[in-house]
Amino acid sequence: MQKKKIMLGLAVFAALNVGNYAFASDNPFATVPQKTGYYQDVASLVHAGLIDGYTDADFNAKHPLTRYEMAVFTAKAMSNSQNADADNTQRIQKLMKEFQSELTDLHVRVPGVKAKKSSSSKSSAKGPKVKNLPMNWDVSGLMRFRLDGGRKDYANGTSKHGADGFGGQKNKQLMWQLFNKFDIGGGWKGELDFIGAKDGNGDKRTTGENTDGYADVNKMFATGPIGKTKWRIGRTKGSFVGAKSMVMGQYYEGGDVSYRTGKWNFGAAWGKVDYVNNAFTGDPSAINTVTKDGKYIYKAERGVSGSDMNPDGLGVYMTQLQFKNQVNKDLAVDFGYWHLQAHGQNLIKDGAEKDCKYPNPDLGEVNVDWQATPKLDITGHFAMSNMRGRADNYFDKSKGKDGDKNKAYAVTFRWGKVQPVKAHSRQFQLDLIHMEQFTGIKSTYDLKNKMGEGQQGFIADYRYVPVKNVMFDFRWMHYKTLGMNSYKASDFGKSFYHGNQYRFQLYYYF
């Protein structure tokens, strides 16, 4: 009965807006052909729980629909787009593009498409006409203010407090980002993102987080279909199959390809991972500056050089495989594999300041994501590398009494879902994390396996949207080192520590 009311309402709406038909498709009540693939797109969105009021049993992909009916399903999916993975996001965008005329007639805002005017207002419009702009160009962005503080206690009895406990001169930061998304044609879309920031000491960072206040391009890529596969080419980051991974939260330049069949999504990526090759500042006491050891000039604070995956700013090429199985709408299982190959001399410094070779490691990962209730999501991660057992590098020190120490695992509990466009939405997240010394990953968490120390701890984060497009973020991170980043006796007391970081962030979205 509810579906009949929807169809009757559409008919009444169309009758009242018959004067606008010239601006919609030629016939909004025409049946959408089955061969277009739109029915399968809607079926996938229904299966993913993105179309409220419909289940797999309610939607029949073989039942013909009009363009207006398709637009209704599209609008429903758009309202839940924040919960869509990469593949379903692409499906929603595909439907939006095809049925944008019907959507605007239904007063649904489509990004990059202005609301249609009546013929009288159109004929009286004045001013210059802009032509030849990229189709559906969508510009958005955000500004963020960050303030850090904390306490850090060392094994030798010394400690740091306040700003010095976490961040030092860079404990406060103002950052902005600008996102540009547009159609290229032939089903391909482009994205060009900028980032700029300024923090306490005007420090420049790697991975595009250029904190001297200037704008930097942190993403520039194109995505689109080739046959039955989906490609992404350029500079980007993140999973290309919608996996929730704890490995490699890092920018890279290259390409990836994915293929979806049934409940499975398969993908592969190749690229050069960001690394640092800056000039020495000349002030070794400055916070978060580059380091010079005579042979290498690097900064270990940011980027993959912040872990034993890529020490000394050596730089690596990445080969990556990912597989995702959407078991049902509430449960997904992901598998990942990485091989890292050093470029350059392949030489690094071990903890005792001796030359050794980077082992070109392999890493594996398994993730499980379970939507336990409409508000509670639980994600588990397990990762392991083969850093151990290499006779020509210092990772061999992980053998014997220390064990392998080449594993990482984490569990995330998320309650609620914060949405910047939805006032009073809120979210609480608790991350429990353990990363051993020789895991060799660049964690997607802010608690990281830094320079081969290994860390464990938790992150408690609360986010709240008081009004639309404004978000507060309060975070507490407790961390503890598991090993040493130096094998010199004089550094022993400085190598073991534990601490707490407190962070406040204010976001504005536009």
Per-residue pLDDT tens digits for 175-197 = 888 999 888 888 898 999 988 87
Token reading at 493 = 């007391």
Cα separation of 237 and 250, whole Å? 6
Bridge partners of 273?
A: 252
According to the model, what pLDDT value does residue 507 have?
97
Direct distance between the N- and C-terminal alpha carbons of the chain, in angstroms, rounded to an integer: 40
Bridge partners of 322?
A: 267, 336
Bridge partners of 226?
A: 229
Task: Using alpha carbons, select from 220, 221, 231, 170 the residue that is nearest to residue 503.
Answer: 170
Cα separation of 77 and 52, whole Å? 8
Reported pTM: 0.68
Cα separation of 342 and 458, whole Å? 32
Flag residues of the chain having pLDDT under 50. Answer: 1-2, 4-6, 8, 10-24, 115, 117-133, 204-208, 210, 276-312, 349-353, 389-402, 485-493
Cα separation of 168 and 288, whole Å? 9
CATH of 138-509, one of 2.30.30, 3.30.56, 3.20.20, 2.40.160: 2.40.160
Q: Is 349 helix (H, G, I), strand (E, B) or coil?
A: strand
CB-CB neighbours of 192 under 10 Å: 17
Cα separation of 51 and 364, whole Å? 35
Q: What are the structural domain ranges in the chain?
A: 2-123, 138-509
| Whole-number CA gyration radius for the chain | 26
Query: In 373-469, where do the E strands start and end?
Result: 376-385, 407-416, 426-435, 455-464
From residue 280, how far is each of 103, 290, 298, 301, 491 by CA, in Å? 56, 6, 8, 14, 23
Task: Using alpha carbons, select from 168, 171, 192 the residue that is nearest to residue 180.
Answer: 192
Per-residue pLDDT tens digits for 304-343 = 334 444 444 556 788 999 999 999 989 999 999 988 887 6
For the packed helices 86-98 and 38-47, what is the interaxial angle rounded to 10 degrees?
140
Q: Could you tell me the sign of the dihedral formed by the alpha carbons of 65, 67, 72, 75, in that order?
A: positive
DSSP alpha helix (H) spans, 17-61? 38-47
Token reading at 232 = 């992404």
